[in-house]
Amino acid sequence: MTRLVIFDYGAGNLHSLAKAIAADGRNVTVETDLRVAMQADCLVLPGVGAFGAAASAMQSGQADLRAALSDGLPCLGICLGMQLLFDASEESPGRGVGLIPGKVTRLRTPKVPHMGWNDIEWRESGNGQKRASLGSAYFANAYICEPEDESPILAWTTHQDARFASMVRSANTVGVQFHPEKSSFAGRAFVNAVIEDLIECR
């Protein structure tokens, strides 16, 4: 039985995410203790909440988490979960995990937040990530990730006049800025393919 744990940093309803990644042979649970959550076969950092509050909720275990992710613990970060993989955010004070060097900045576009469906622009080569068929996905974000260099970036998305990373990977950790659990059948198929790939690559 594969153990998937969604870390709950105290914001949002996680039901739709848990339902999207549930499958035969998987045990999906929600955990508020980060060190317990890190015992999973794959850790999921969900995509609802504020950066500062979420960073505070994981502060006591951040150093252990960064080490575990660097050592290959499979992890999927969705929206806010992807942003928490970086060093810091303009949204609010607090230190991110720092697995991927870089910062999170506010979208500087006429319309904020970015909400709705948008295209996924895949890079030619993809940092070891198996290519999944996903042409577009649902976004709900006012902040974007800016890695110090482009090497972790697997895909881009353009919203109005801003082009930003919509998928990144470092070691066995993948972050997506969009919400695959809200992206219809294709999004759910995509997120489950990513999880299986991460577990296989450990």
**Measured between alpha carbons, how far is 30 from 18 in angstroms, rounded to an integer?**
8
Query: Is 79 among the catalytic positions?
Result: yes
pLDDT value for 125: 60
Report whether 128 contacts 169 (CB < 8 A): yes
* Catalytic member of 42, 75, 79, 145: 79
Beta-bridge partner residues of 156? 121, 165
**What is the domain range of residue 86?**
2-201
Domain count, the chain: 1
Place of tokens 């690559």: 201
From the list 172, 179, 173, the residue with the least C-alpha distance to 157 is 179
Residue 90 a catalytic site member: no
pLDDT in tens, the chain (202 residues): 999 999 999 877 799 999 999 999 999 999 999 999 999 999 999 988 899 999 999 988 999 999 999 999 999 999 999 999 999 999 999 999 999 999 999 999 999 999 999 999 998 765 545 455 699 999 999 999 999 999 999 999 999 999 999 999 999 999 999 999 999 999 999 999 999 999 999 8
Assess whether the previous peptide bond of 113 is cis (omega < 30° from 0).
yes
Residue with tokens 């998937």: 4
> Catalytic one among 42, 75, 145, 181?
181
**CATH number for 191:** 3.40.50.880
Residue tagged active-site, from 42, 75, 159, 179: 179
CA pair distance 181, 168, nearest whole angstrom? 17
Residue 181 known to be catalytic: yes
